[in-house]
Amino acid sequence: MKPKVIVICGPTASGKTSLSIELAKRIKGEIISCDSMQIYKDMTIGTAKPTVKEMDGIPHHLIDFVLPSERYSVANFKKAATQKIEEILSRNKIPIIVGGTGLYVDALVYNIEYLELETDLKYRQELENLIEQKGLEELYEKAKQIDEQAMQSISKNDKKRIMRVLEIYHQTGKTKTQLEAESRLTPPPYDYIVFAITMDREKLYERINRRVDIMIEQGLIEEVQSLVNKYKEFPTAMQGLGYKEVVEYIEGETTKEEMIEKLKMETRRYAKRQLTWFRKNKDIKWIDRFSTIRTKYTMYFGGIQWKIKKQIRRKKLKTKWI
What is the domain count for the chain? 2
Residues 157 and 201 in one domain: no
Looking at residue 182, its pLDDT comes to 86
pLDDT tens, N- to C-terminus, the chain (322 residues): 899 999 999 999 999 999 999 999 999 999 999 999 999 999 999 999 999 999 999 999 999 999 999 989 899 999 999 999 999 999 999 999 999 999 999 999 999 887 777 789 999 999 999 999 999 999 999 999 999 999 988 888 889 889 999 999 999 999 999 988 888 788 999 999 999 999 999 999 999 999 999 999 999 999 999 999 999 787 778 878 899 999 999 999 999 999 999 999 999 999 999 999 999 888 899 998 776 444 444 445 555 554 555 454 444 333 332 2
User: HSE-up of 214 (CA within 13 Å, CB side)?
Assistant: 11
Residues 107 and 210 in one domain: yes
Check: CB of residue 271 under 8 Å from CB of residue 208: yes
321 falls within a domain:
no
Residues 94 and 238 in one domain: yes
The whole domain housing 199 covers: 4-113+190-315
Strands (E) across the chain are located at: 4-9, 29-33, 60-61, 94-98, 191-198, 285-288
Task: Give CA–CA dist 146/282, Å, rounded.
Answer: 27
Check: CB of residue 32 under 8 Å from CB of residue 95: yes
Looking at residue 185, its pLDDT comes to 81
The torsion angles phi and psi of 57, rounded to 5 degrees, stand at: 85, -5
Domain end call among 145, 161, 183:
183
Residues 96 and 223 in one domain: yes
Looking at residue 316, its pLDDT comes to 38
Q: What percentage of the chain carries pLDDT values higher than 70?
A: 90
Residues 78 and 197 in one domain: yes
Within 10 Å of residue 282's Cβ, how many Cβ atoms? 5
Domain end call among 183, 200, 230:
183
Residues 203 and 102 in one domain: yes
Angle among Cα 286, 289, 295 to the nearest 5 degrees reads 80
